[in-house]
Amino acid sequence: MNLADVSTVIFIIVGLLLVFVAWWLAVAGLFPRLVEGCAEKLGAAPLVCWLIGLGCAVPLIVGGIVLGNAMPSAAGNIIRGAIILVTIFAALTGTAGLALRIGRGLPAARDASDPWRRVLRGSVVLALTYLTIIWLPLTLLAGLGAVVRLGFSRRSASAPHA
């Protein structure tokens, strides 16, 4: 392995971590209530969120692969890719709540005037923990579970009571 190969691997990893940080900032800017809700769900019961995320991700990803293999055409590949990408994007959206939660634990003087800085600080810390690889799937599953829990809690809160 020469220096060019090492540089390629390093730049790919750094680029991927920057994409995570950018995604979390974009989601926090576009959907602040969603991120706030995910942060509350993850703070209240992180293990429950992880279990729900695992219970949702496995059937979705396996179903996407099976459905894509059952339809060997381009449409099957598109459906498979769409299911897997939507699952990953939902998980990344939920982990924006985790980034916010981490950022709240690292307060700064400018947080009142620039609330997005909480997400930035938490995102950088969370992205750096992904260098250990083990935290990436764990936090993505917890983020997916937080999004699912938040969706169900909003649905039950808006349902009319008899």
Average of per-residue pLDDT across 67-78: 79
Furthest C-alpha separation in the chain: 69
Angstrom distances, CA of residue 76 to CA of 17, 57, 58, 63, 79 = 30, 19, 19, 12, 5
Could you read off the pLDDT of 150-159 as tens digits, one per residue? 988 776 666 5
**pLDDT recorded at residue 33:** 93
Which segment of 8-17, 63-72, 112-121, 132-141 scores lowest on mean pLDDT? 63-72
28-56 pLDDT tens trace = 999 999 999 999 999 999 999 999 999 99
C-alpha dihedral (157, 122, 88, 55), degrees to nearest 10: -60
Could you tell me the pLDDT band of residue 160, with boundaries at 50, 70 and 90?
low
Distance of CA 59 to the CA centre of its chain: 18
Neighbours of 159 (CB within 10 A): 8
**Model confidence at 70: pLDDT above 70:** yes
Which residue, chain included where needed, has tokens 């392995």? 1
C-alpha 37 chain-centroid distance: 13
Residue pLDDT, tens place only, 82-116? 888 899 999 999 999 999 999 999 988 888 888 88
What interhelical angle do 32-44 and 46-70 show, nearest 10? 120
What are the sequence ranges of the domains in the chain?
3-150
Residues 4, 119: Cα–Cα separation, whole Å? 34
pLDDT in tens, 110-134: 888 888 899 999 999 999 999 988 9
pTM of the model: 0.86
pLDDT of residue 157: 65
Which amino acid, 4?
Answer: A
